[in-house]
Structure 1
Amino acid sequence: MQSPSLRQLDIFAQMVAAGSVARCADMLGVTADDIARDIGSLEMRLGYRLFEDMSGTVRLTPAGRKTAQAMTLLSQDAPEDWDETAAPDAMPAQAVPLSAAPARQTIMLAAPAPIFGHFQDALSAFEAANEDIAITLDLQVQSVADAADALRAGRADIAYFYALEEPAGFASRYGWSEPLSLYVGDAHPLAQADSVSRDDLATTPMLALERHNPMRHIVEDALARGRVQLGPPVLESDDMFAVMTALRAGKGIFAAFGALARDLGRMDGIGRLRLDAQLPAIEVRQALGPRAAETPAVEALAEFLFL
């Protein structure tokens, strides 16, 4: 999984191993507030909660357990007082079932982590109704190139990916669209404007994810297609709390879509710009492996996720 920062992923792993915010903070030599900040930032990026409660002995949510399994971040050195219902056993990479029940057939699903958050309930329902099937996750796929590689190499039976249109030469189907929006803090000069033009945007500094983050490239491609050019970045960070702080201080514009955009839209002191032209939406598309037609369960899950 590449979208969150490595530091956030490491802290998530340390939290699972430590079992509490205080113990994790002591292990890493930082404050409990620092731990809570990084976990909160990671949850914003993923679009779902990882822990039920950050006080006392922490418990993973069902989505948190599945995410930890899929990222293979769990350690064999979990503390003795760690709740077994909160921390799953460590499992090998590329083969981590979402349920502990024995399975006669495994379906490999590749998708960006925020998309997994979109249909995690559907996956659980499918497994509950099909006890002979286990679903494993690969959360590293982002683009059509990622999806094509995963399906061709047999690392996935079903792949979801982001695109701006139907890719040429690669069979996929449209799932849904996630609007791209631009966000500023209430202190920004454009915050109260009734209409913001491309000329206004070109002279306004931007806040961006780090350059290695694939989500940044997806956003930049969408902006380019919409003929929108923002000013130079004044902040490049995967730390969403740093981005939110800069937004509220009026330092620039941040482009987002999906779960991250929904979360930003609910934040006090942050609002969506009212543009004079609509930005291109980000498509979420589904593709199946070359042998899907030979596997009824794969086609059944692919259809079920569209219900």
Structure 2
Amino acid sequence: MAQLPDLEAMAIFAKVVELKSFSAAADDLKLSKATVSKAVTRLEIRLGARLFNRTSRRLSLTEAGLRLAEPAARLLADGEAAEDEILAQSAQPRGLVRLASPMSFGLLEVAPLLPDFLAAYPEVSVDLHMSDEAVDLVGLGFDMALRIAALPDSSLIARRIGPVARHVVAAPSYLAARGRPTHPAHLAEHACLGYAYLPTPETWRFVNDAGEEASVRPAGPLRANNAEALLPALEAGLGLALQPDFIVGSSLAAGRLEAVLTEWSPPPVALHLVMPPGGPRPARVEAMAQFLVSRLSERCAGRGLVSTDGAA
């Protein structure tokens, strides 16, 4: 394998040529004069040619030094320009943010916020990927994701925005025809509409204020990989379902659905913002993260979708 060029020594050489002094180059680069001199000597040994004629009073380029001066200066200038560009991007939010979100939450709660974000950060663009299936942030190159879950331990950096309320709901017509369950065990006698990405989709678990636990294996005529897709069947009176408040809140308020088993609660889940490990993060990512945490906390608390209790 060919040896890589000594780019550091070449950049130091270019700075000496620019300032016509080893001492001035050392001051400008915040290096010792000995470090600058050793870098130039290292480059001369590598190239097999002297680059400077040095006396106590004068510094001049040799023929080899003259040939190297221009490309070395270009190398230094390109490196400084590239570094300045990245630093500028780090200081000023610009570029693409890739954000993943659950489908219904993305449509109902995230998408309405994006016009304000894009107006506040006109040099940032957003790639919003919506799917109820948890995506591989690192493998697929996402900057962050919103997740509604009881998150397992992982290498991802997670910020908890707040708990998400969930209810067992049904249409008044269904309850009139089939009766109102008063214990989770009664759900075994009912048509239950299933959501494929519940933490335990094959088993619904509950606990009451007294600490009693109960579970049931639901069965019914419909199962979907998106919770909002169950809403038409719910309102048509085809069964019960365990649904998050941000999907059924308006239907509950309008009386199209009713909550049952209100003395029992499913295992708690929360809204989280998760990001891949590592840092520091680009300004565009930090801007999006702060915006989402702030606005979703306000929006969800204001509409009663998520009761915010701080971030973890």
Q: How does 1:178-197 map to 2 (within 5 A)?
A: 178-187=164-173, 188=175, 196-197=182-183
In structure 2, relative to structure 1, the CA distance for the partners of 1:293 and 1:222 (3 Å cut) is farther
Q: Which runs of 5+ in 2 are unaligned?
A: 1-92, 208-213, 295-312
Aligned partner letter, 2:220: P
Question: Would the alpha carbon gap of residues 208 and 294 (structure 1) be closer, same or farther in structure 2, given more than 3 Å must change?
Answer: closer
Q: Which residue of 2 aligns with 1:295?
A: 282
- Residues 106 and 112 (structure 1), Cα distance of their counterparts in 2 relative to 1, 3 Å cut: same
| Cα contact 2:147–2:272 (8 A) shared by 1 | yes
Aligned to 1:8: none
Please give the secondary structure, in 2, of the residue aligned with 1:305.
helix
Which position in structure 2 is the counterpart of 1:233? 220
Matching residue of 2:258: 271
Instruction: Provide the C-alpha distance between the structure 2 equivalents of 1:270 and 1:122, rounded to a whole number of angstroms.
Output: 27
Match of 2:142, SS state, is coil
Alignment of 1:119-268 (within 5 A): 119-140=110-131, 142-143=133-134, 146=135, 149=136, 151-187=137-173, 188=175, 196-209=182-195, 214-215=196-197, 217-218=198-199, 220=201, 223-224=204-205, 227-236=214-223, 238=229, 240-245=231-236, 247=237, 251-268=238-255
For these two proteins, the number of residue pairs brought into alignment is: 190
1:136 and 1:291, CA in 2 relative to 1: closer, same or farther beyond 3 A?
A: farther
Larger radius of gyration: 2
1:283: which partner in 2? 270
- The one-letter amino acid paired with 1:179 is A
In structure 2, what residue type is equivalent to 1:253?
L
Query: Which residue identity lines up with residue 139 of structure 1 in the other structure?
Result: M
- Asked if the contact 1:191/1:273 (under 8 Å) is kept, the reply is no
% identity of equivalent residues: 15
Aligned to 1:112: 102
**d(CA) in 2 for partners of 1:167 and 1:264?**
35
Contact 2:202-2:217 at 8 Å conserved across structures: no
Contact 2:150 2:269 in 1 (8 A): yes
Residue 274 of structure 2: SS of its match in structure 1?
Answer: strand
Higher strand share: 2
TM-score, reference length from structure 1: 0.53
Contact 2:170 2:234 (C-alpha < 8 Å) held by counterparts:
no
Amino acid in structure 1 at the alignment position of 2:192: M
Higher helix share: 2
CA gap of 1:224–1:170, structure 2 versus 1, over 3 A, is farther
Closer, same or farther in 2 for the Cα pair 1:290/1:235, shift >3 Å? closer
Structure 1 residues 197-225: Cα deviation after superposition (integer angstroms, max 9, x where no partner): 1222233231235xxxx44x347278236
Structure 1 moving runs of 4+ over 4 Å: 189-193
**Aligned-partner SS, 1:220:** coil
Query: Residue type matched to 2:98 in 1?
Result: M
Distance change in 2, residues 1:222/1:292 (3 Å): farther
Q: CA deviation at 1:189?
A: 5.4
Within 1, Cα distance between the matches of 2:203 and 2:267?
A: 6
After superposition, the Cα gap between the structure-2 partners of 1:104 and 1:207, relative to the gap in structure 1 and judged at 3 Å, is: closer
Following superposition, the deviation at residue 184 of structure 1 comes to: 1.9
